[in-house]
A = this chain, B = another copy of it.
Amino acid sequence: MVVAEVIEGKLSRIGKNLKSSLIRDLLKYATTPGAISFGGGAPDPETFPRSELAIIAKEVLEEEYKFALQYIPTEGDPELKREMIKLVKRIYGIEGIDEDNILLTNGSQQALDIIGRIFLDDDSYVIMERPSYLGAINAFYINFPKFITIPLEKDGIDVDRLEKVLKELDEKGEISKLKFVYVVPTFHNPAGVTMSLEKRKRLIELSEEYDFFIVEDDPYGALSFDEEVPDSIFKMAGPERVILLNTFSKILAPGLRIGVIIADKNIIRKTVMAKQSADLCSSGLNQRITARFLQRYDVLEYIKPTIRIYKEKRDTMIRALEEYLAPLGAKWNKPGGGLFIWVDLPDEYDTMEMLDIAKEKLVFYIPGAAFLVDGERCHAMRLSFCLPPKDKIVEGVERLRDVLIEYKGR
């Protein structure tokens, strides 16, 4: 096709290198009738407070249309920022934050994109966990930085390995090109693990010693089943060292597209300029609705039933894994919260290759390779337990067993 060739010749380096996300492509199959999907991280829509939001939306449009339907400040709705300050204090015990420390974004993905834009060049280093959240990999990737990945252990990033890498960078005279270390310390996506308090403290010490920022991405911290969550890195080290990302996508509803960057005022100033160029401002309607919801309801009380359901689903999935996948040599962690279980299979299973059989058997997961910077061969997979009902979780894991057996037999 002529047009395709013309276009290819006109594309930028970014344009040429953009790839379609595996998850995106998988989600198309996952809606096949009869399919059971452990793929996406989309919350159960029945947990959305739809009636409350419907009443609030009507009121906001009738009474606050001058704000809600107009352009709003790039930084976000001042009312929602004030609610955010209260919420951050309740969730993390973080104090001393004011409106200048906050940028409201279109979901966390825009926060990641903006962080990547303002910090990363093609001679920059960025350090990620292995595996890491693929939305972050994608967002940082388009700035073509040098990725360094550090293995993730049961209690978070391998800080000894991290220190070794930092030392090497320092010896090479490259340490000043390291911009930040990106971590999801609590109920990790995809790995489900939580970084210990001790490792959080080591990470902060290293950030002081080697002068880098820590990007602490915490979409799941409020979704704790039974674990005491260690202090947030931001709470311990403050905005001098830490950029904290959060979102309402998992505790309220993704469709409102509200994420937040909490950081030093000087960083926020730059993120605001970047957002201005990216989309001028977010929707005042969505932000004002969210602000009014937070004023009227206790969102942390409100999600407790949801968390109970997620906990039961986690337990159901763990039991099914024990019954169906343990005999085949599978290993996994038991996450204390969040949405994901990371299942490690014996070496001979290439979970990417195995997808074809999974499609036939109508069960979906995300292959581990999606969460690796270089997309290398991987014998792990991410299972999300939040969306399917409990009986389907059991049936889906049983189907997974059949997929493994058939893959091995081929």
Contact = CB atoms under 8 A, between A and B. Distances in A.
Contacts of A12: 117-121, 124, 143, 179
Given A57-B54, A71-B40, A277-B113, A1 B142 contact: no
Contact of A11 (B2, B118, B278): B118
Residue of A21, A70, A249, A281 ringed by the most chain B CB atoms within 10 A: A70
Interface stretch (A264-272, A304-312, A322-330, A361-369): A264-272
A24 to B, nearest CB: 7
A267 B7 CA distance: 7
A138 B285 contact: no
A109 interface: yes
A346 interface: no
A124 B15 CA distance: 13
Nearest to A139: B277
A138 B277 CA distance: 6
B45 A66 contact: yes
Given A18-B277, A118-B15, A119-B12, A69 B50 contact: yes
B70 A42 contact: yes
A92 B166 CA distance: 58
A273 B18 contact: yes
A159 interface: no
Interface stretch (A194-202, A252-260, A331-339, A398-406): A252-260
A61 B69 contact: no
Contacts of A106: 106, 279, 282-283
Nearest to A238: B3
Interface of A: 1-4, 6-7, 9-15, 18-21, 24, 40, 42-43, 45, 48, 50-51, 53-55, 57-59, 61-62, 65-72, 74, 105-107, 109-110, 113, 117-121, 124, 135, 138-139, 141-143, 176, 179-180, 211-213, 239-240, 249, 253-257, 264, 266-267, 269-270, 273-274, 276-286
11 contacts: A3-B264, A4-B266, A7-B267, A12-B119, A15-B117, A45-B69, A55-B58, A109-B277, A110-B278, A113-B279, A256-B283
